[in-house]
Structure 1
Amino acid sequence: MKWTELCIYTTNEAIEPISNIIHEAGASGIVIEDPQDLLVERDTSYGEIYELNPEDYPEEGVRLKVYLPVNSFLGETVAEIKQAINNLLVYDIDIGLNKITLSEVNEEDWATAWKKYYKPVKISEKITITPTWEDYKPVSTDELIIELDPGMAFGTGTHPTTVLSIQALERYMKKGNRVLDVGCGSGVLSIASVLLGAEKVFAYDLDDVAVQSARLNTKVNKVNDSVEVKQNNLLDNVTEEPDIIVANILAEIILRFEKDAFHLLKPGGLFITSGIIQTKKQLVEQRLLEIGFELIEINQMEDWISIIAKKPE
């Protein structure tokens, strides 16, 4: 089978929204080539292996690669992706060079290209994320392993917004907590919640592809009995009263359901948000305070912000 590699030259700020656009277009995975990765000092004490070649990265900006099947709808799909990326300017998102190139690859080459980018990564004190094909062995008795298949899930779970979310869950999760994962994507935050002690997780996503990926990944990680995955628009018609609501979604989306989150949370419950770019930080903070939340923590990783807010007891 023939595939087309769609290569998008953009900025770090635009990675998350463009990723959402690509997923909505039907693609099942993305390669992110960010030259900043070459500058990061990585902890290899847990057995991680990093094989980063500077020639694989752009000289400036960020390069996103997605693989689309060569069929009669390809031209229309590419046009829709281009238009949706251009529309990000309306939200004051810097899309940088915004250059898009196309090249053809064979299915065998495509499958191999995916795997060379992913190695086990320890993203918090306890949690390590590893591709399903890696034979990774825990190096400590309290290490928690999440297995993901990037070809089916949305990313590897190592983007700063995901890392910030998981680190927050690790700090605040209590055994027996009930959690709502809004915009669950691959289900990585739901899986992490159960491994960290959650009794029950309700995972919601509007995208059916995400729902299927989350269900598969919860089964792979043997937590499917504790995670209920369903297609749903944010918190519409949700009646569960959780201890924690976690949402790794863009700020514009967070501000569509922050009131619902406040009303659903139990007194003393936490709203963990991520996916917030620096320019939207103050807006989200102000809205959460206006509703009645108390701001507990504000954390930053690269250009991304996470906010942990508490509903007063």
Structure 2
Amino acid sequence: MKWQEVSISTKEENEEQFSIFLNTIAKGVSIEHSVDILKSKTDNFEEKFRLDPKDYPDSDIRILVYFDETYNIDEQINKIREFIEETPLANKEEIEIKTGIIDEMDWENEWKKYFHNFKVGRNFLIVPSWEYADVEIADSDKVIKIDPGMAFGTGDHATTSLCLTFLEDVIKPSDKVIDVGTGSGILAIGAYLLGARNIKATDIDELSLQVSKENFALNDCGEDITVMPADLLKEETENYDVVVANILAHIIGDMIDDAYKLLNDNGRFIASGIIVEKRDEIITHMKAAGFSITDVLEEDGWVAILALKVT
């Protein structure tokens, strides 16, 4: 399969608005920050990342949007241009749109250019499989080997790293866990490395399910993670101790009540992918459903919420 890539170069302050919109029309969205931006936001940057500046935008950000070959690319670009015209964005006259074609066979090589090992949370070490043999691993490191493929979720985005941090806080070996919208499977793998052995990973996208299975096999945890297609929690009938979802705020809103019903007493709901502007709205909805808000983490304009089911 060939994928149609749309590249949008813009100011960093436009990231949240573009992310929300593009996730409603695209098969996948990836955001590349300039090295200067990454350095400004990351403590001990040189220890965590090994990057070639030539592979990154010279300044600001580049948003890469992917459509499979069944899409009419001209229609999608028109939607993007209409969004830009109708939305208050910074320096919109400087926004640049480019298009290209990527063969699925070339995807792995593209990721090898941009994706390198780094640490996240307290003890997680994210390692692309092609670097594993060359990485120094400390005794305390919980290593997640990952090949993103055409599914998204590498751990470097704030929303994923915040979820992993919360998982470190709450997971117990006895927990039954569901990762909703698993993507590349990174959160389910994180739960496994923290001791959980009864895990379900779901996604509405078949490609994500395929990639997650491959990553579970890569991390030797496939036998303990059930993978299945699902639309959020709408058809779910089992009960869980932990529900984790790294999706967008309006989708989190659609699953709050179902999460409360499906959680066992004192179960925990970890929700991420929420922009700061939506934080209070989501918290209000969670409290109305019966949750007690345990903790809220914020990074780079994104929010993750840890909520407890109280009865």
TM-score w.r.t. structure 1 length?
0.84
Closer, same or farther in 2 for the Cα pair 1:136/1:308, shift >3 Å? Answer: farther
The alpha carbon displacement at 1:16 in A equals 4.1
- The secondary structure found in structure 2 opposite 1:256 is helix
Amino acid at match of 1:247: A
Picking from 65, 75, 81, the partner of 1:79 is: 75
- The 1-side partners of 2:105 and 2:231 are apart by 36
- What's the C-alpha RMSD, in Å, of the aligned pairs? 3.2
The aligned residue for residue 8 of structure 1 is 8
- The 1-side partners of 2:274 and 2:220 are apart by 31
The alpha carbon displacement at 1:112 in A equals 4.2
**1:32 partnered with 2:32:** yes
The alpha carbon displacement at 1:20 in A equals 3.4
**1:102 partnered with 2:103:** no
The residue correspondences of 1:1-313 to structure 2 (distance < 5 A) are 5-10=5-10, 11-14=14-17, 16-17=19-20, 20-21=23-24, 24=27, 30=30, 32-34=32-34, 36-43=37-44, 48-53=48-53, 56-60=56-60, 62-66=61-65, 76-80=72-76, 82-83=78-79, 86=82, 97=92, 99-103=96-100, 112-134=109-131, 135-313=133-311
- The 2-side partners of 1:215 and 1:276 are apart by 26
Closer, same or farther in 2 for the Cα pair 1:130/1:293, shift >3 Å? Answer: same
Closer, same or farther in 2 for the Cα pair 1:232/1:93, shift >3 Å? Answer: farther
The alpha carbon displacement at 1:82 in A equals 4.9
Contact 2:32 2:56 in 1 (8 A): no
- The 2-side partners of 1:105 and 1:252 are apart by 30
- The secondary structure found in structure 2 opposite 1:225 is helix
Contact 1:161 1:275 in 2 (8 A): yes
How many residue pairs get aligned? The number is 304
- The 2-side partners of 1:185 and 1:176 are apart by 24
Contact 1:298 1:307 in 2 (8 A): yes
The alpha carbon displacement at 1:137 in A equals 3.8
More helix by share: 2
Closer, same or farther in 2 for the Cα pair 1:77/1:241, shift >3 Å? Answer: same
Contact 1:48 1:120 in 2 (8 A): yes
Percentage of identical aligned residues: 31
Uncovered stretches (5+) of structure 2, i.e. residues with no partner:
none
The alpha carbon displacement at 1:165 in A equals 0.2
Closer, same or farther in 2 for the Cα pair 1:218/1:23, shift >3 Å? Answer: farther
TM-score w.r.t. structure 2 length?
0.85
- The secondary structure found in structure 2 opposite 1:243 is strand
Instruction: Please list the CA deviations of residues 180-233 of structure 1 after superposition, one character each: whole Å capped at 9, or x if unmatched.
Output: 111111111011111111121111111111111111111111111111111110
The alpha carbon displacement at 1:30 in A equals 3.7
Closer, same or farther in 2 for the Cα pair 1:301/1:48, shift >3 Å? Answer: closer
The alpha carbon displacement at 1:118 in A equals 1.3
- The 2-side partners of 1:107 and 1:153 are apart by 12
The alpha carbon displacement at 1:139 in A equals 2.9
- The secondary structure found in structure 2 opposite 1:163 is helix
- The 1-side partners of 2:144 and 2:22 are apart by 21
Contact 1:178 1:201 in 2 (8 A): yes
Instruction: Please list the CA deviations of residues 239-271 of structure 1 after superposition, one character each: whole Å capped at 9, or x if unmatched.
Output: 111110001011100111111100110000000
More strand by share: 2
Closer, same or farther in 2 for the Cα pair 1:40/1:102, shift >3 Å? Answer: same
